[in-house]
Structures are given as structure tokens and as C-alpha cells.
Amino acid sequence: MRPVLPTDEQIQKRVQQILRRGSLNVGGNAPMDRLMLMFTRSCELRCSYCFVDLDEEDDGEVFAGQYRGLLPRGELGRETLSQAIDLLMTSSKPRLGLQTFGGEPTRCFDRVLEMIELSLEHPRRQGRPVEFLVTTNGLSLSAERIAALQRPGVVVELSLDGDQRGNRFRRPLVLPADEAWAATEAAVERLKGSGLRWFMNATLPPAAAGELGATWAWARARAVPALQINYGTGMAWTRAQVETWLLGLQAMLAEHRADPRGMELLNWANDADPVPLCGDIIVDVDGTVLQVGGLFHERRFPQLREPYLRGQVGELAGFEGLRFTLQGLWERTRQVLGPREWEIFAGNVALGAAVDLVVQVARRSGSARLQPPLTPSA
């Protein structure tokens, strides 16, 4: 049977439902409060879909950020880290989470370990479980570092876009390409034998819209235990690219359900917010606290930094009520972006809603093929 995609009307209806519903993962009714931490603006990669303003001080103008001097440079200090953890611990939720971000967080590996120690020993934790999501490109993930991460609640999110060709074209490297790929493959093998909880997180921009199946197949062939595939944001998607992505998602879900071979496909649990409207809060290297989109898209949509600002980490009273609602973020974004930028942003949100619809129907039907009429739940 020929696959059926959600219509524009159905997608826009789903966008409005998501805005009214709010975040399922970190919203008011979620069981967890999570805080992201910007550990550094240094990174070995310059991914085509990354719009964080990165900077390598030692390399002069070669990797100078477009907004040098306007944004904080450097690394997250110990005092700022401690204040960020204090802020999270004011949450009343039964579970807590901290996620590393950058740049490449393992370039500040000792500070990552400090984050774990300070959190587990914090007097206001009161026995609550804390999940530490360590996001990394894996290039410096040695056996010793993997062993040091063997702590309660630690999960490694390995940012990797599939095979060597995909990474070479979408993730330019400071290291020579062959050397970097060898380091990546070594990290995968070390993680597989470590007993540490980890998953592979792949991001495909519009030009790679047709590569979902190949990325899934590569991960399964490498015995990756769990996989999440995301669409690139801050970029314009044509209708053809959107359709290619959604058809690829349908096919991937169907093939995985028929033959999972022990790999968890996290796309099945698609309760995440549409990526541009992520409800998470992040602490920048200088202690500035923002809704995360104000940092993720700072080179693409620099206008978002001010309306997404929440204050300075050491001056905030507590974590409760710190987030804007998804509806609030939507309105703040619409007020500051120009027509073309808004078209891109809103299109990215619509793609997230369309992905949600495809997964919902696949869950209900037991198949990855959509059957009309499509009636998403409220």
C-alpha cells in the first residue's frame, strides 16, 4: 500500500495542540527537571547543522566566531557549575537531570566529573535519582575516561552521523579526517565493551533527508545499543525534503519493528518537543541562563538570545517557574524574527509536528504506514 503523509492542515493542527499541551519531558507535569550546562565553546568539529558560536582561542582567526566579543568565551568555571547545580536542586521534582553541552564537553573532562560529584553529594538532593547525560563526539573518549564515567545515573550520548562519508561531509574536523574517523570508531568499540549506558544521536540536515535508512542500518551493523535520529534545525527544508524525511521515517520504523536485532530505536518514543521549541534551560559558560534555543541557534537566529534570557545563575531565586511555556516561546520568537527567518523557524517546528504524527500512527497501527484519515489525539 502506498504510504500516506499527514496533510498541511493536520500538521498545523498538531502544532497548535503541542503549543497548548506544553513540554511532556520537562514541563510542569513531567516527573523530571533537567538543566543543561554549556561546558565550553571549544570543539574539534564544525558541523554544518550546528549554530552554536564556537571559538578556539589558540587558533586565532581560523575558528573565530562570527560574533566574537558579543558572546561569552571560554569554559564553565567551578563556581558557576556549583551555582547551576544549586539552582537545579531547588526543584521539587522527584527526579533530576543534568546534560553536558558545548562545544565538546570532554575538553573540560575534569569539570564533567566535578558535575557528577557535586550533584551526588549535594545536601538538597535528598536521595533523588539524578541522570547525567554526557553529550560527546567521542574523539577523546579514552578507556580511562569511560571508566571514570562509570557512576550512578551516567548515560553517554554519542553524537555521530553514521558512516565515514556522512561524517566527513557534514562534520568538518580540526583533526585530519582519517585520524578523526579512527578515533570515532575506537570510541564506539570502547563504549560497546564498557557496560556504560550509551546511545548514538545522529542529526541529518535537509541535504541528507534520504539517509535515515542508511544511518539506521549502519548503527545496527555496528551493534549500537540505541539510536536517535534527528532533523537539522535552523535550516530551510523544501517540501520534497520534508516528504523524503517522513517517508524515510515510516520505512525505518517499519523495518526496525520487523527486525530490531537488539537495538532500541528511540524515535519510537517521540514525545520530545519540536526541536526549535525545546523546553530545556541551559547555563552558558559565563552563568547566563537561557531557554536552550537562544544558544542552539545563536549564529542562525541571534535575535533569540535576549527574549530567551532568564537571568544570571547566581541571582535566580529557584528553578520553579523558570521556563517559558512552549506557547510563550512561540510568541516571543514570532515577535523578533523577520519574515524569512520566521518561515524557517516555523517550518522546522511543523516538521517536528509531522514527525510526531507519523510516529503516533505507527504506534497505533503497528505499522509505519499511515492510513487516512489521520486524527491525532489532543
- pLDDT tens profile 226-285: 999 999 999 999 999 999 999 999 999 999 999 888 899 999 876 666 778 888 999 999
Residue 377 confidence (pLDDT): 35
**Which contiguous run of DSSP H or E holds residue 157?**
strand 154-159
> How distant, in Å, are the alpha carbons of 19, 56, 200, 336 from that of 222?
38, 32, 11, 44
CA atoms of 119 and 269, how far apart (whole Å): 28
Lowest mean pLDDT among 92-96, 165-169, 180-184: 165-169
Tell which wins on pLDDT, 357 or 164. Answer: 357
Provide φ and ψ at 95, rounded to 5°: -130, 150
209-223 pLDDT per residue, tens? 999 999 999 999 999
Which residue in the block uniquely carries the three cell numbers 534555543? 293
Give a three-class secondary structure readout of 24-67. Answer: CCCCCCCCEEEEEEECECCCCECCCCCCCCCCCHHHHHHHCCCC
Lowest mean pLDDT among 99-103, 265-269, 315-319, 349-353: 265-269
Domain borders along the chain are: 8-365
Distance of CA 235 to the CA centre of its chain: 16
Which letter does DSSP use for residue 328 in this model?
H
Which residue from 282, 308, 287 is spatially nearest to 34, judged by alpha carbons? 282
Distance of CA 221 to the CA centre of its chain: 24
CATH code at 8-365: 3.20.20.70
Question: With a threshold of 0.75, does the pTM exceed it?
Answer: yes
Q: Based on C-alpha coordinates, what's the Rg of the chain?
A: 20
Is residue 290 a contact partner of residue 35, using CB atoms and an 8 Å limit?
A: no
Contacts of 328 (CB under 8 A, 6+ apart): none
Contacts of 46 (CB under 8 A, 6+ apart): 54, 63, 171, 172, 173
Q: In a 10 Å sphere around its CB, with 0-12 CB exposed, 13-18 middle and 19+ buried, how is residue 58 labelled? A: exposed
Q: Is 153 left (phi over 0), alpha (psi -120 to 50) or beta?
A: left
